[in-house]
Amino acid sequence: MLAVLGASIRFGDLAAVDGVSLSVADGEVLALLGPSGSGKTTLLRAIAGLQSLDHGSVLWDGDDLGPVPAHRRGFGLVFQDFALFPHLDVGRNVEFGLKMQGVDPLDRRRRASAALDQVELAGFERRKVATLSGGQQQRVALARALAAGPRMILLDEPLGSLDRALRERLTGDLRALLARPGLTALYVTHDQAEAFAIADRVAIIDRGRIVQRGTPEEVWRRPSTAFVADFLGFRTVVDVMVSSGVADAGPFGRIPVTGVSDGPAMAVIRPDALAIDPAGHLDAVVQTVAFRGSHCLVTLRLGTVVAEAQERRAPPLGARVRLSLDPNGVVVLGSETPPI
């Protein structure tokens, strides 16, 4: 098991990683999710042994990895740009790490072929890297990491340089590969859909600190801060006043809540909480409609507040509609600064 305890890294006055503690259990895939500049890649590099910690420690099964160089930590690395050697064919790219370890040539070829078979590239050994598609190059990079039999794989935005259609297809492929028994992985990304599709657990990082962790469903259903709600794409955050288990949410009415102290707070209203419903008790005007494939994202104005709802059919722009509100789609947070 990997454990990071109180890790901190500073670059001058900037705290790139600020007192981070996290763990990855054997056989688990943890996604480290955050915006650009949040410190996620810096933390991954520290775990890999490519970046020194100013404070804290990285442990594997209780053993401190601080004095252990990167090439002896037993971790496989997959980078965004794949870092393949263009002058080597696919087989020799996959064998490269094994060659550096002094593995016998016959064993190298056997293990490289087995790794390519794992990523569904059997028979590609003699292909030139330049002739491969972006998705195939990504798989070769993953095969190279798998060939060495790592105890853990570290992936840094491995799909970030691919176009959306290919990225969405390979997300499913990666999930299938990483879900194999005994494979442990830390997956760094800024894409929430990617993280939710691939990971068993998600840790959200902001300005060098972990601000929430949990399963994808837990994080999506109950963002813990306004930053997390905003980062996940929930744009409707309103001030509320809580009294005796009820939040007065202004144009959204009175919403029952549990576990929230009386006083001012904020409510995150997810798009799935609102629905156009002739029997609804909220009045709204349709402002914009964006087609999203399986649904339409509808922007609505309720008085001075703008909210979003998911609808199967697009309502007319400017239409006056009635809305119903599902309290299960509302998360009430403690008082804090709203997201920008």
Residue extents of the structural domains in the chain:
2-228, 235-333
Q: Do domains 2-228 and 235-333 have the same CATH topology?
A: no
Q: CATH for 235-333?
A: 2.40.50.140
DSSP structure string for 201-244: EEEEEETTEEEEEE-HHHHHHS-SSHHHHHHTT---EEEEEEET
The one-character DSSP state at 89 is: B
**Full pLDDT tens readout for the chain, 340 residues:** 999 999 999 999 999 999 999 999 999 999 999 999 999 999 999 999 999 999 999 999 999 999 999 989 999 888 877 788 999 999 999 999 888 888 999 999 999 999 998 888 999 999 999 999 888 888 898 899 889 889 999 999 887 766 677 777 778 777 887 877 778 999 999 999 899 999 999 999 999 999 999 999 999 988 988 899 989 988 898 999 999 989 999 899 999 888 888 999 999 999 999 999 999 999 999 999 999 888 899 999 998 899 999 999 999 999 999 999 999 899 988 644 333 3
According to DSSP, the β-strands at 282-291 and 185-189 are unpaired
* pTM of the shown model: 0.83
Phi, psi of 41 (to 5 degrees): -70, -35
Rounded to whole angstroms, the Cα distance separating 38 from 35 reads 6
Task: Kindly state which CATH superfamily the domain 2-228 is placed in.
Answer: P-loop containing nucleotide triphosphate hydrolases (3.40.50.300)
Rounded to whole angstroms, the Cα distance separating 139 from 199 reads 18
